[in-house]
Amino acid sequence: MTQFTSAALIVNAKSRKGQALFERACKALSGLPYPVDAHAVENPDDLVETVRNALAKKPQLVILGGGDGTISGLVDLLVGHDVVLGVLPLGTANSFARTLGLPMDVEGAIEAIRTGVRKRIDLGRIDGDYFANCAAMGISPQIAETVPHGLKKVLGRIGYLGWASWQFARFKPFILTVDDGNETKTMRVVEVRISNGPYHGGTWLVDEASVNSGEIVVQAVTGRYKRTLVKNWAASFFGHESRHQDTVSFSGKSLRIDTKPSLPISIDGEVLAHTPVMAEVAPGVIEVMVPASE
């Protein structure tokens, strides 16, 4: 068991559920043998400043609570600091937490922090911006970039699904070019995953990707028709071997990625870049807490 003398907890608590999860986390943390500087951040715009203020106090452990977007958006701030990251999986997919082998409940994740071990891992990087788990090109970022602000809040899940269906009807396969510095490959694809870990959307998708491989992986779902993507999604969801039939993967320390037309890239759920980009691995750049069995 790793011993710390101080810790900070920052939770994205923008919803009532987030506030309740924060209170559960504080209760679970009360049994730790060191003080925890805890913050429930209701406005996501305040997360960066809150983490920076917490780091200024030089804690040995920083616990971030939220979904993949929250973790990925804040992990840049920890790079270069002598601090260990603890993860509370409070999102929908929690792909990064799954990659680390963490329990999906608050109490289980806190127990993994209490009794676990430190592990040095890689991060991905797109045009210099660190990310924890996976970036994507295709229908997902198209939906995220175009969905009207507040649609889900006003019309709920049905409204969001309606918008997603309309975008899927308009979506077209595109041309992908991957250059590893030695060879350039061009192909028609329906989705691209830039992965530092095997999970995407909470589903195991990219077998070759690992947080300690020292390489970034680009997996493309090849095809000229959207039905290929639907088939791949279904096969991946059920863990069927046929999910490999229409995919091709590239790996390396640095890969230049371009598309025709230029497309948005969602990084752990947030649209933060557009092609062309340089995707890289940042090997062993951060330490995280994982279960002792990992």
Mean pLDDT, rounded, for 41-51: 92
| C-alpha closest to that of 110 among 135, 126, 88 | 88
* Residue owning tokens 């030089």: 58
Does the pLDDT value for residue 139 go beyond 90? Answer: no
SS3 144: helix
| C-alpha closest to that of 7 among 55, 72, 78 | 55
Mean pLDDT value across the chain: 86
Mean pLDDT, rounded, for 150-174: 61
Contact partners, residue 257, CB within 8 Å, separation at least 6 = 176, 177, 178, 179, 192, 194, 218, 275, 276, 277, 278, 279
Structure confidence by residue, pLDDT tens digits, 73-131: 999 999 999 999 999 998 888 999 999 999 999 999 999 998 999 999 999 999 989 99
Give the model's pLDDT for residue 270.
81
* Residue owning tokens 């830039």: 194
The CATH classification number of 7-123 equals: 3.40.50.10330
Does the pLDDT value for residue 211 go beyond 90? Answer: yes
CB-count burial class (<10 Å; 0-12, 13-18, 19+) for 253: middle
Give the model's pLDDT for residue 261.
93
Structure confidence by residue, pLDDT tens digits, 240-290: 777 788 889 999 999 999 999 999 998 877 888 999 999 999 999 999 999
Give the model's pLDDT for residue 205.
87
The CATH classification number of 134-281 equals: 2.60.200.40
Does the pLDDT value for residue 147 go beyond 80? Answer: no
Structure confidence by residue, pLDDT tens digits, 163-177: 456 566 677 889 999
Mean pLDDT, rounded, for 211-219: 95
* Residue owning tokens 């009807």: 169
Task: State pTM to two decimals.
Answer: 0.86
Contact between 87 and 96 under an 8 Å Cβ cutoff? The reply is yes
Does the pLDDT value for residue 292 go beyond 90? Answer: no
Contact between 117 and 170 under an 8 Å Cβ cutoff? The reply is no
Helix axes 139-146, 151-170, angle to 10 degrees: 140
| C-alpha closest to that of 161 among 172, 151, 149 | 151
Mean pLDDT, rounded, for 155-163: 53
Give the model's pLDDT for residue 150.
56
Contact between 275 and 135 under an 8 Å Cβ cutoff? The reply is no
Pairing label, strands 117-126, 247-252:
unpaired
Q: Which residue ranges make up each domain of the chain?
A: 7-123, 134-281
Q: How far apart are CA 178 and CA 41, in angstroms?
A: 39
Helix axes 106-115, 16-29, angle to 10 degrees: 30
Kindly indicate the confidence band of residue 234, based on its pLDDT and cuts at 50, 70 and 90. Answer: confident
Q: How far apart are CA 15 and CA 67, in angstroms?
A: 12
